[in-house]
């Protein structure tokens, strides 16, 4: 979609994506291309950039982390996103996962919610800087500072929603904002949590499918 140019760390990024594909962590071509496109080193503190393509989480401030790459790949695969899908993300963090999602659905269709103003502003600045480079188009990703339990009703209904933070269950208000047939994905429960994919039924109920145990930071707010 865009001319990526020479942003640095291309070999490291390609090696990581190849490893994830070999380990069957990436199954969909759209996911592979998205992870190949997004410069993860731009989403971590400068002094941690050399670690950006290790398959592990890294601290980003406010006791938050950037998710481990294989988990971003797994979650992206599970949602089965398509171009034009409208997707809220609860837990912007540094913006890496939102950028991966935007590579598939389009940046104008990503609505990311962050509890911490400082993280949200840093991510807005990062998206703006990357977009101004001419190699990326993340400036149209919407970011809102609020309690993620409330979702983002103004742009509903959504085709899919995912949480990058752990919660006891899918917030009811967020469920209401997803269309019938839409998908929800979140780490549910205590530490460790269980990654659960759900499909919203016509009657509003959720058909759930577990996908293993994970460890995420807890959801903030009420």
> Which contacts qualify for 173-176: CB closer than 8 Å, 24 or more apart?
173/149, 174/88, 174/90, 174/148, 174/149, 174/150, 175/200, 175/204, 175/206, 176/151, 176/204
Q: Which of 2-6, 56-60, 85-89 tops mean pLDDT?
A: 85-89
Mean pLDDT of 37-56: 95
Q: What is the pLDDT of residue 7?
A: 53
Read off the pLDDT band of 3 (50, 70, 90).
very low
- Annotation marks residue 205 as catalytic: no
pLDDT at 121 over 70: yes
pLDDT digits (tens, 9 = 90+) for 79-92: 999 999 999 999 99
pLDDT at 4 over 90: no
Would you call 87 exposed, middle or buried from its count of C-beta atoms within 10 A (0-12, 13-18, 19+)?
buried
**pTM of the predicted model as reported, rounded to 2 decimal places:** 0.94
CB within 8 A of 67, min separation 6: which ones?
57, 93, 96, 97, 164, 216
Q: Which of 2-16, 59-73, 183-197 has the lowest mean pLDDT?
A: 2-16
pLDDT digits (tens, 9 = 90+) for 129-149: 999 988 899 999 999 999 999
Read off the pLDDT band of 221 (50, 70, 90).
confident
Mean pLDDT of 15-29: 93
Q: What is the pLDDT of residue 43?
A: 97
Cα separations in angstroms, 81 against 34, 105, 158: 11, 7, 12
What residue ranges define each of the domains in the chain, with the CATH number in brackets?
10-214 (3.40.50.150)
Q: What is the pLDDT of residue 25?
A: 87
> Around Cβ 109, how many Cβ atoms within 10 Å?
22
Residue 183, token pair as written in the block? 């998908």
> Around Cβ 2, how many Cβ atoms within 10 Å?
12
Q: Indicate which residue of 37, 67, 112, 142 is catalytic.
A: 67
């Amino acid at each position: 979609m865009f001319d990526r140019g020479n942003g640095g760390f291309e070999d490291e990024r390609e090696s990581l994506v190849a490893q994830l594909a070999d380990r069957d962590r990436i199954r969909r071509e759209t996911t592979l291309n998205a992870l190949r496109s997004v410069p993860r080193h731009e989403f971590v503190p400068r002094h941690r950039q050399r670690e950006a393509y290790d398959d592990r989480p890294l601290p980003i401030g406010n006791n938050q982390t950037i998710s481990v790459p294989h988990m971003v790949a797994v979650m992206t695969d599970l949602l089965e996103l398509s171009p034009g899908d409208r997707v809220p993300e609860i837990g912007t963090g540094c913006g890496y996962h939102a950028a991966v999602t935007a590579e598939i659905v389009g940046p104008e269709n990503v609505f990311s919610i962050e509890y911490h103003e400082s993280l949200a502003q840093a991510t807005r600045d990062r998206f703006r800087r990357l977009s101004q480079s001419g190699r990326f188009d993340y400036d149209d990703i919407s970011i809102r500072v609020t309690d993620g339990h409330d979702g983002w009703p103004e742009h509903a209904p959504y085709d899919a929603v995912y949480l990058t933070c752990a919660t006891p269950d899918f917030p009811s208000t967020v469920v209401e904002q997803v269309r019938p047939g839409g998908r929800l994905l979140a780490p549910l429960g205590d530490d460790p949590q269980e990654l659960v994919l759900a499909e919203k039924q016509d009657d509003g109920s959720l058909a759930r499918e577990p996908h293993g145990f994970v460890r995420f930071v807890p959801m903030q707010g009420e």
